[in-house]
Amino acid sequence: MWPSVRRGEEENIFPFQESADAMFNSALIYELAVLKQFAEPLLYSVKKEDPEYYEAKRLLKFLEYFLGVSSENLPNNSIVREFVGGSCFNV
């Protein structure tokens, strides 16, 4: 679904963001530390002959800056739960 998400951002968010009355950053301080455990196996599975290989390597290098954190203690209403499972929201 990622191409659809990006297309929606390009068409409906980015052109209007500077004229918005308010904006907020929903990033959480622990977000990358939790997502690391899910992202690394996927990134390591990218083969050298794949076109995404160098981007996967770049992201793996970036993730080295973060200690992994278990998602076990995430609140069930955390927005990160949308990506790791266990959310209390029906999405």
* pLDDT tens digit sequence for 50-85: 999 999 999 999 999 999 999 999 999 988 998 899
Which domain covers residue 85, as residue numbers?
25-91
Confidence band of 91 (pLDDT split at 50, 70, 90): low
* pLDDT tens digit sequence for 4-27: 999 999 999 999 999 999 988 888
In a domain, 2, yes or no: no
How many domains, the chain? 1
Distance CA 84, CA 48 (A): 27
Q: Is 14 helix (H, G, I), strand (E, B) or coil?
A: coil
pLDDT (0 to 100) of residue 58: 97
Confidence band of 49 (pLDDT split at 50, 70, 90): very high
pLDDT (0 to 100) of residue 24: 85
In a domain, 1, yes or no: no
